Structure formats: structure tokens, C-alpha cells
Chains A and B, each alone.
Chain A
């Protein structure tokens, strides 16, 4: 009996030791293979881009719901029709999973939606393939919707949503911070500190082109004036719920969620002043063996014929200025209201600044939020 228990113990300890050594082994192996493949693809890209064989299928992130069905008809079906490559839908990949995918060279998705911090250096260089701009006509894209490592598939924005049944309607973005004339709770997004900080700075009188460097202390001082009325929401649908039930009077929320509530008859309305437009960036994980085909998918997505197709079923803005769009829904596009104050927070300048100061900004935000 003694021998068996001892054996079992030895096996357990050995495995713990092996487990600790294993990540070191894979971590050192992965970067070297990734560098090798990018060198090979870059060499092959210029002369042999069009003649490289297409993969049989690629995996594209599709998180379902109404947007998912729309996305499937607009982007996936057109790609399969034009190139004959099957598109498999994959689940959402968050930043942690993207990092893990590249670090372990285990690619579960070919086209992913990286967050803004990953689309510029230094993280972009480590985790995303540079976009093949030989396949994309940059001149057609709206300024601030593409970077070296990612392109905007579509644009969305955070706008000022408000209840029409709780008192007079606001007329400008500053009213969000005016609790004397507009008492009531305000909803703010809990994870996107860039949007919250930029919103506060705009309301404090900073011009959209004077935002950098982001003076977050000034932003927090402004936010302190409504501190007791803030309700933080953790997902877009939670925010939509807050507005739909009337739990909050004002909210800084995705514009398409506000407009869809309005259309379904809820007593809400939207104010476009001070909207913060962001790109739904798509990119390819670094070292992906299907990178060439994935690049074609991305090029297809932002081409003038395809980019506007999703507006037939969902509200958003195409990143391609020449895209054909659904005229009926045009009034709800963020890009139809560029005559009012707006900021494109996913532009290369702001994104690079945020990426370089990510730790400082998120720590400061968490500190202030926790008080």
C-alpha cells in the first residue's frame, strides 16, 4: 500500500513541475515560428499575392443575434459567392484569447475583432498581421478608420440617449453633466474608459481636435460633479435595459441600441452632439496560416460593393465612403451627423496615444471609479 501512495504522490509532483515548465517551452517556441511565417508571407505577398492558393474555409467571428444574421448575409455570403471559400462562424474572441492564440500558435479564428489597444504598435506588431493594402483602396475609406494592423468593417458610436418622459429634453452634450436642470441617473460604460474620459473632456469645453494628451484628471473632476448619479453598465444590452426600463434618465450608449429602442416605441430619443465614433476593427492574428485568405475576406468586407450591405438590416455606418447604403436608415447613421460635434476615438492618433498610456489610463480610471 505504501508503494502505491508514494507512486501517486511522485506522479502528482512531477506533473506540477512539468506543467510549470511547459508554458516556458511553448512561449519561446511560438515567437520564433511566428517570425518565420511572417517573413515568408511578406516575401510571398508582393509578387505572389493573387496566385497564392485560397484556404478551403476560414473562421470569422460572429457573435449571433440580429447583428450576427445581418453580418452573415452582408459579409460571409458575399465572400463565399465571390471567392468560393467557406466561412465558418466562430465565437467572440476577447483580447486575452487573442493573445493566447498567438502565443501558443493555436489559431481558432482567422478574422477577429481586436480592441483598439491592439491595432497599433506595440501590441499590433506582436499580435496582428499587417493589413495587405495592395487589396484595399485606402482612398475610399473614411479618415481615421484604418491602421497598419486593422481596418474598420463598420463604424459605431456612443451617443447621448435620453428618456423623453422624465422632463425636458437636453439640447447639447453638456446637459449630461447638468444635474441642476436635468436631475436623474446617468448611465456610463464601465469598460471603455477612453469613451468616458473623452466624453467628460468634451463636456468640459475641450475641442475635439485638442483632446490629446488626454487630461484624465480634468475628466475625473468633471465626472465627480455627477458621481452620485452614475450607473455603470457592463454590456451593451445591460445599458439598453437601463434606458428601456427608465432606470436611468440619460445614458452614453451605442447609437444603434438607442435608435432601435426608439423605433420599437420606447419613450427615448437620441442626441448626436458629442458622439464618439469608433471602428469595428477587423484583423488577422499574427502567424495565422490562413492569413492570405483572411486578408481577401477583409478586402471584400471594406470594398465599395459590400461594405454598405449590412445597412439593409442593421444600423451603423460603413467605413467606405463610396459604399451603397440603405437610404431609409441613413438618418440613424453616425456618419450622417458629422455636422455636429464628434470624435473618432479609434483613429490612429488617439488609438496610438491610448495604447501607449493604457496602463496609466486604466489604473487611474479604476482608482477613480473605486472611490
Chain B
């Protein structure tokens, strides 16, 4: 049956199709966005093959180029002609590749665009080596030899196995060094700082008797002695770690020598089979999640950011849950249901729509500058003028976000309370229970899934919020975790790292955005996955809850 367009249009079907199109576009956008983040984020850890090719810049220069092809695009010929590239007539566009050539210490830059027509003799040699380093980004080239104390111990083919073995040794030494530098020496520094504050506090309170000062003095001397000992140990370890080095050649033939202490890992991606690649991939993902960032956050892992986010969100939920529940119970069960309560309810509801930056500025002004500096005056006068709580930190960030998410918990809990049928409450009261008992034994247990939903939604919102945190406590790089083994264990006054802020900072403030971009995608992916899971669980809890009460209403 043929339909003419006129007929079809008269029925209004084009409009219906357009509306369907709007749904479809929205879906394509959501799925496309998630797909984009996932693909860009996941690809980063895969061991990319390293391409080697002859690069002919013009007739008489022929060089070798080694690197990973990161991106390929078509460039209009016109654009190239204006840039001074010789493009034959009739050619519309040319393909060019973005090479990650690494070796920033040798060549000065990480990335390079190269026209594909200038490349010849493309090959993927098995022995080409990718090396992650603690400084200067990746290295691509060939391993020539491994040295110990300046003497070659293995060359060419034998060198690879030797290198892996010695790298392992270097890593174990490195771990020891880190343990001493961050754990033990860090502890000593904190101890000395504590002593300094103690001394100053004594003086402020006019209690600085000679005995007390002497006690502080001896303690300080102990720390100093301990520090001396550790310092000696460190010197020895540094000597050890710098024993081995490797010799490698780059794509232009430059031979460099590098101490193994500076190498994170070395691998030959072209040699790997699929299984090895998968193992490598899993390891890479693991180290991304568990390691500290390197090179101004553009490399390495994001563990401190994950840790900071989780800790802040935990503190926030500890604060927000009782407050939100109490407020909701009050509004629903105790307050007289009149116009004032209704207005209050609307007001609380609308606070969820107030921009988060407003909460941020409130947190900064009220909590930090007003309460925080008051706390400093009262409790930490010895540390002044350097502020303890009068500066952005974990505590204030948690409180600010608790305030921000309070409406979410209140609204969700209230909804849960309102869904509990009257009959249940009346039944309890009829059996002689007091109002408080009804509440505690009957109503709250039944409303608990709703409260959970509220708390989960609050956590999801808090985990993704960045704008207020920029004012009340996050930093791009925190020297230590806010929870550690030194007294008072939970450092509420410390600034912390945060996944969302990490994305903003690395993506927009870092010196080498291009190199850091895959990492940002990976971080985004992690954040999206966490938040999506939280939301989905909230939704499923809510649905289960609804089912449950449907049965009750029967």
C-alpha cells in the first residue's frame, strides 16, 4: 500500500517521527558519550605497537622514525599549501599521523605530526623497546647493553633478560627508599613539628618550665639522631640503586645511558602475543588505580585522588545521614502539617537546585574564614599565624558537601516516610506503642531503604561535585594521604586530592595536556563507572521499595 507524502503528513506522522528522533538523538548522545569515554579511557593501557618507518622529509634527507601512532586525520590540501608544504595539483586532502615519539629529553617534544606519504618502509620490529620512565615521559628505541658500575655486563640479545632482572632489583630498592623517605623521615618531620608546636604552646601559656623544655629538647635530639641514621641508610640505598644503567639508542641513532633507577618499566610491545598483552593491560590498569601520580599528575596512577574522594564522601555521608533523617522525620512525623511546613518543604526541595558554587562560597566564608579561624584562635594558638583549620581542608569540604546533599537525603527520606501506609502506624499505636517506639521499631525500619536511596544519591552527587571543592579543600597534589599511621591518624585539617578536580586540573592546568589526555579519559571513566553504579543501585533499591509497599497497600 503506497502512501503519498501529503496523506502521510496530514496524519501528523512527520512530527511524531521528529519526536522519536529527539529521543533517539538523546540516546545516541548518552551512549556515544559513554562510549567515547570508555574507548578513550580503556585504550590507554593497551600496549600499543611501535611503528618504525623511514621518513623522507625531502629528497636528500631520509631519517628513521619510531613511535606510536596515536591519531590519524585527513588534512585539506589547501591548508597544507598555505603552510608551505608542497602538494601536487589535484590532490584534495592528505592523511597524516600523530606520532608519539617520546624521548622528550633528546628531541624536546613528545608528539609529532607526519604526513603519511612521507613514510616509507613501515615495519614493526620485534626488538624495539618502550620504556616508561620517572622523568621525561616514554622512551622508544633499542636496548644496546646493560652496565653495572660502568662496566658492560650484557650486550645486545642477552641484555633484555638481564635488564628485566635488574629492573626488579632496582624497584625493590626503590620501595625501600620510599618507605624510608615518606614513612620514617616523614614521621620524624611530623614529630619535630609537633614538638615545635608543643614548645610554643607552653610558652604561650607561660608554662615553659626548664624541665619541660629539657624534655622537649631531649626528644628532639632523639629524632635528630634517628634522622641521621636514616640519612646514612638512604645514602647507601641510593648508591645501590644507581649501580646499574642501560645503554639504548634512539630513532636518530643517538646513544644514551640511563640509570635503571629512572626506569619504571621496559617492554617490547611488538613482541607480545595476545595473552601477554592482556596480562600487561590488567597490570597497567592495576597500577593506574594503586599508584601515585608522577610528572605533575600527567603520568602514573591516581590512587591519592581515589582515596581522597572516598574518604571525603565517607565523612560527608556520616554527617549527612543523621542530619537528613532527623530533619525528614521531623518534617513528616512531628511538625504540624500546615502551610509553614509546606513552605519549608518546598524551600528544602529547592535548595537542591541552588548552584553548588554557592555552597562552596558559603563553605569558604562561613566554615573556613569564620568558624575555622575561630577554632584556630581557641584551640591552636601555637600554630598561628599559619592556620590549622582556618584554611581549606578535608573537614570543611565534607561539611560543605554534607550541606549540599542534605536536601537530597531529606527529600528521599520524606518520600519513603510518606509511602508507609497510615494503617501500619495506627496499628502500632493501637497496640499501645508510644510515638517514639512506633517510629523507631516500625516506621524507620520500613523507611530505611528510602534513606539508603537518599544517601546513595547524595554520595553520587558528592563524588561528582567539583566546583565547591575548589574553594574548600582540594589541591592538585597532596604530599600525604589524609589518613595515615601517624597521630592523629585522620588529618581533618589536611587538603586532599579528588578525582573530579584531578580531571579539571590535569586536563586544563597541566603543562603537557596532550600527553596527559588519555589519563584524563581513564580517570573520567573511573568516575563515571563509580557514579553510574551508585545511581543504578539507588534506582534498584527504590524500585524494590516501591514493590514492597505496593503489597502493603493491598
Say whether A and B bind each other: no
Residues of A within 8 A of B (CB): none
Residues of B within 8 A of A (CB): none
